[in-house]
């Protein structure tokens, strides 16, 4: 309780119509020309055009950079940085899910530090912050808009590298739940599960803290209560708002407390097999909860209480059983099937996946110290 802690978060605006403030915020930075970082899917919805128009009204030029893969690649980040410099931009505005936002963070630090994006791998390796960065998330889960994390794929090594640094925290996040309604059902489910995993891992992280616990537990509660409902009623903006809030709270928690084995292993899958991040997280979650449980049962008990499990009469094993059941039921309800094999993972990949997961910075704060063999076993169980 008395450990020195700090809480890092960007200035954020949450609520319907938040994205309309982008011009005002860009102007506050004295911006003249913005690099709009997005992806083809988001650009096709017309959202980037709308943002460009809002900026235009504030007399700010913009140029679109949208050649980004679902898991942003190092060379894409470098291309974006080149465009930023060539077009004489002075602010970066990310519009989209985790991929454009992580890419935008990468572009920023590459331009100010003049180094390759892969040089920044690991914790606290960024010397100079990037130019002003405003994030407009279109998904509810990644929370890259408030976090100090950026994940970039090193294609040669087939590995996702994590860049963890306070300099990666965006300057402003404009979180508009209305925008998340553009997601289809499955993407809503996967990103929602990403948020749930953020909250789970942050809460049991060895770097947890009381102020973060509040957000983590509330995020878990909101996801369990509202994620199936929003899939039933995708146009219910109240429900969209609750999921977006869950994502934000989970983000505030994990950005400061870091994550754990689920993310380390999911990053590994994403790097090697280009699997979808949220989906991977969802498939792995219950296996890792079972593995970690005995290290911090009291904290899992709090999670259980927050999702409506009456733990008072239960012994520790029953609590775990109930939690795992709840997670599996949720996944079933939202249509995420178990089994990494169905998503392209093979038994022969396991040893490499485990080796890479062990090297991931997220593994540092996992509550239970794992060996390579432990991780291999977990992959086998989840296969």
Residue 5 lies near another protein (rule: CB under 8 A):
yes
Nearer Cβ to another protein (123/329): 123
Segment lying near another protein (by CB under 8 A), choices 60-68, 303-311, 330-338, 360-368: 360-368
φ, ψ dihedrals at 91, nearest 5°: -155, 150
Nearer Cβ to another protein (3/184): 3
Rounded to the nearest whole angstrom, what is the least distance from the CB of residue 8 to another protein in the complex? Answer: 7
Residue 256 lies near another protein (rule: CB under 8 A):
yes
Mask for 204-233, x = binds another protein (CB under 8 A): --xx--------------------------
Rounded to the nearest whole angstrom, what is the least distance from the CB of residue 308 to another protein in the complex? Answer: 31
CA 151 to CA 185: how far, in whole Å? 24
* Span 114-153, contacts to another protein by CB under 8 A: 123-124, 126-129, 132, 148
The DSSP call for residue 79 is H
CA 67 to CA 165: how far, in whole Å? 25
Segment lying near another protein (by CB under 8 A), choices 35-43, 60-68, 165-173, 345-353: 165-173
Nearer Cβ to another protein (35/126): 126
Return the SS3 of 219. Answer: helix
**What residue has token string 């939690």?**
323
CA 37 to CA 250: how far, in whole Å? 24
Q: Smallest Cα–Cα separation from 261: which of 239, 290, 225? A: 290
Nearer Cβ to another protein (108/241): 108
* Span 284-303, contacts to another protein by CB under 8 A: none
Residue 241 lies near another protein (rule: CB under 8 A):
no
Structure-block tokens of residue 297? 């049962």
User: Between the CA of residue 137 and those of 42, 49, 81, 165, what are the distances in Å?
Assistant: 11, 15, 20, 20
CA 162 to CA 159: how far, in whole Å? 10
Q: Which of 24, 116, 119, 166 binds another protein (CB under 8 A)?
A: 166
Q: Which of 188, 226, 258, 281 binds another protein (CB under 8 A)?
A: 258
Q: What is the chain's Cα-based Rg?
A: 20
Rounded to the nearest whole angstrom, what is the least distance from the CB of residue 4 to another protein in the complex? Answer: 6
Q: In what order do the strands lie in the sheet with 11-14?
A: 11-14, 172-175, 133-137, 91-96, 33-37, 61-65
Q: Smallest Cα–Cα separation from 187: which of 247, 254, 134? A: 247
Q: How many residues bind another protein (CB under 8 A)?
A: 30
Nearer Cβ to another protein (183/375): 375
φ, ψ dihedrals at 183, nearest 5°: -75, 145
Q: Which residues bind another protein (CB under 8 A)?
A: 4-6, 8, 10, 29-30, 123-124, 126-129, 132, 148, 164-167, 169, 171, 206-207, 256-258, 361, 364-365, 369
């Amino acid at each position: 309780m008395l450990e020195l802690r700090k809480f890092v978060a960007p200035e954020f605006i949450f609520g319907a119509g938040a994205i309309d403030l982008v011009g005002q915020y860009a102007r506050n930075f004295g911006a003249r020309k913005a690099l709009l970082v997005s992806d083809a899917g988001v650009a096709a919805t017309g959202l980037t055009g709308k943002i460009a128009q809002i900026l235009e009204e504030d007399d700010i030029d913009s140029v679109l950079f949208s050649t980004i893969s679902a898991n942003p690649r190092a060379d894409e980040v470098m291309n974006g940085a080149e465009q930023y410099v060539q077009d004489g931009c002075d602010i970066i505005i990310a519009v989209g899910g985790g991929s454009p936002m992580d890419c935008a963070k990468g572009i920023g630090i590459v331009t100010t530090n003049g180094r390759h994006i892969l040089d920044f791998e690991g914790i606290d390796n960024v010397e100079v912050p990037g130019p002003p960065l405003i994030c407009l998330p279109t998904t509810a889960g990644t929370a890259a808009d408030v976090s100090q994390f950026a994940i970039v794929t090193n294609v040669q090594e087939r590995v996702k590298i994590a860049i963890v640094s306070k300099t990666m925290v965006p300057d402003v996040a404009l979180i508009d739940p209305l925008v998340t309604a553009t997601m289809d059902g499955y993407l809503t489910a996967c990103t929602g599960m990403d948020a749930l995993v953020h909250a789970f891992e942050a809460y049991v992280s060895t770097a947890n803290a009381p102020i973060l616990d509040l957000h983590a537990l509330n995020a878990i509660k909101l996801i369990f209560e509202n994620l199936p409902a929003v899939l039933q009623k995708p146009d219910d903006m109240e429900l969209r708002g609750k999921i977006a809030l869950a994502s934000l709270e989970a983000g505030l928690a994990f950005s400061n407390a870091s994550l754990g084995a689920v993310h380390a292993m999911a990053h590994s899958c994403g790097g090697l097999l280009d699997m979808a991040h949220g989906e991977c997280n969802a498939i792995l979650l219950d296996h890792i909860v079972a593995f970690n449980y005995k290290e911090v049962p009291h904290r899992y008990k709090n999670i259980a209480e927050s999702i409506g499990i009456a733990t008072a009469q239960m012994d520790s094993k029953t609590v775990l059983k109930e939690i795992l059941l709840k997670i599996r039921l949720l996944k079933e309800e939202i249509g995420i099937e178990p089994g990494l094999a169905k998503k392209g993972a093979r038994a022969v990949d396991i040893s490499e996946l485990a080796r890479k997961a062990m090297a991931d910075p997220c593994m540092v704060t996992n509550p239970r110290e794992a060996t390579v063999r432990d991780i291999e076993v977990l992959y086998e169980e989840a296969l």
